Structure 1
Amino acid sequence: MAENSKPEVKVDRRNRRVAGTDPEKRRQILDGAYQVFTARGFDAASMSDIAIAANVSKGTLYVYFEDKEHLFVALIEREREAQKRGAIAALNEDPEPARALQNFGQCLVRMINQEFAVSAHRIVIGVAERMPDLGREFYENGPLTGANMIARYLDRMVGEGKLDIEDTQLAAMQFLDLCQSTLTRPRLFNAIQTPPSDEEVHRIVSEAVTMFMARYARAASAQPAARRPLRSI
């Protein structure tokens, strides 16, 4: 089917096709959008630019995404999903909460300080006042989802008697903020233009875990995360 003809469609139970759900075409569009958004930013990017980069017609582009905002959110979601699996695995690879939280925290901090993640945060913050739905969707599918994932883990650790937490949702938010201390905000404001080193990430997350466990660990399971001397930041 030609790009400028009727919208692409998928097969249903009677082998008819429904518009806009070919996964390969969707991937192709998102790849093109990634190139354009990272090169030009959100405001300067156009659907025409994205269609050219993705090698599809504008008609096909609008079949898959109703506007630039929804395309941008979908791109963020794809990048997040690729990282989320690693974060979940890191959280579950050690039975002791201190070490599991250390693993997760390091994975999280590296993820949110990558160039695309930082750019995405800046773009969303810049447009959130005039596009509140975009800001809400970004928050709910990103930071809030991460907090909910940690809260469920904390609920499990409370159930196993390893942690003593009354409000696991609040504790999850506290842990996420502690892990990002001194690292993420300077990146967002471009005060620091490169991602933190592994040593910096390890040091900050270790301090976050130590503080978190001092508040919430049961006495028998208060094992500090592994630490090593590092340069100051």
Structure 2
Amino acid sequence: MVGDRLITRAFQDGDGAHGAKRRRQIIIAATEAFFANGYGSTTMTSIASKVGGSKTTLWSYFPSKEALFAAVIDDIIETRGEALSVDLPDDEELRPFLARFGAVLMATLLSEPILNLHRLVIGEARRFPHLAELFYERGPRRGKARLADYFARAMHQGRLRQGDPAVAAQQFAALCQAGTYQFAIMNLPIPDREAQVAADIEYAVEAFTRGWALG
């Protein structure tokens, strides 16, 4: 996976309570810096200055800016990525499952840290395409793979028509994001956002089941 070899040392160094606390301080400072200034305009020197200490100490935890950015991604996904851990039971009725999963997915995508991360990656993708790959591998690809596995089982059980489960996963995720999310990612005002999201999910479930569900 892109960047994994770069962060191995980052999670080995600085062991113990003090090291964990220091690493956490660095990740928080880096998150604030990346969101405020972008990836390209943020330097390891500026982050070291923000947390207090030398750049040498910072490098002992994170051997590169890319490794630190990967840690920021992992931290945000770990704390806000509920869609990556939501239950996918095979015995739940399809429509209630899709509605529940869609709600969790949208709550994840519309949380401010996840939105800011998406905006940052999109804004830097042309200059730093490897960052987009790094983010996609650690977040969206994992979520879509889990959903695709669920859809593959549903196809095997005869609850969905046969097809490519990865395509089904991409389509359902895209349907959920077709409305409110498009305004949110551009930071546009969304009146009564909760009701709008609920409507988006309802439409997504209806459209998806019309195309994929059997019976």
TM-score by length of 1: 0.75
Matched, 1:36 2:33: yes
Q: Deviations over 1:3-54 (max 9, x none)?
A: xxxxxx99xxxxxxx6355443322211222233334443443323322333
Q: 1:224 aligns to what?
A: none
Aligned counterpart, 2:151: 154
Could you list the per-position Cα deviations for residues 60-98 of structure 1 after superposition, in whole angstroms to 9, with x for gaps in the alignment?
211222333332232122111223345532544971121
Structure 1 counterpart of 2:213, from 208, 212, 217? 217
Equivalent position of 2:142 in the other structure: 145
Q: Using a 3 Å threshold, how does the CA distance of structure 1 residues 188 and 195 change in structure 2: closer, same or farther?
A: farther
More helix by share: 2
1:59 to 56, 60, 74: 56
Task: Please state whether the residue corresponding to 1:82 is helix, strand or coil.
Answer: helix
Q: CA RMSD in A?
A: 2.7
Q: Which has the larger radius of gyration?
A: 1
Over 3 Å counting, the alpha-carbon distance change for 1:79 and 1:54 in structure 2 is: same
TM-score normalised by the chain length of structure 2: 0.81
Distance 2:89 2:191 in 1: 25
State the Cα distance separating 1:125 from its structure 2 match.
1.8
Distance 1:187 1:122 in 2: 10
Structure number with greater CO (CA < 8 Å, separation at least 6) is 2
State, as a whole percentage, how many aligned pairs show the same letter: 33
Aligned partners of 2:135 and 2:29: how far apart in 1?
Answer: 20
Deviation at 1:160, TM superposition (A): 2.8
Partner of 1:128: 125
Using the TM superposition, name which of 81-90 and 170-179 deviates more: 81-90
Structure 2 SS opposite 1:42? coil
User: What amino acid does structure 2 have at the position aligned with 1:151?
Assistant: A
Q: Return closer, same or farther for 1:118/1:174 CA change in 2, 3 Å cut-off.
A: same
Q: Distance in 2 between matches of 1:168 and 1:93?
A: 15
Deviation at 1:144, TM superposition (A): 1.6
CA contact (8 A) 1:183 1:196 kept: no
Decide whether aligned partners of structure 1 residues 20 and 139 sit closer, same or farther in structure 2, where only a CA change above 3 A counts.
same
Does 2:13 match 1:19? Answer: yes
Count, aligned residues: 203
1:207 is the counterpart of 2:207: no
Residue of structure 2 in register with 1:95 after alignment: 92
In the other structure, the counterpart of 1:225 is: none
Cα distance between partner residues in 1 of 2:35 and 2:125: 18
Give the direction of change, closer, same or farther, for the CA distance of 1:86–1:148 in structure 2 (3 Å limit): closer
Long gaps (5+) in structure 2: 1-8
Q: Secondary structure at the match of 2:161?
A: coil
Checking the alignment, whether the CA contact within 8 Å between 1:19 and 1:63 is kept in structure 2 is yes
Pick the aligned partner of 2:69 from 64, 69, 72.
72
Gap change, CA 1:88 and 1:100, over 3 Å in 2: farther
CA contact 1:38–1:116 (8 Å) conserved in 2: no
Point out where structure 1 has 5 or more consecutive residues left out of the alignment: 1-8, 11-17, 220-233
Aligned CA distance change for structure 1 residues 87 and 107 (closer, same or farther; 3 Å): farther
Mapped contact 1:114–1:195 kept (Cα < 8 A): no
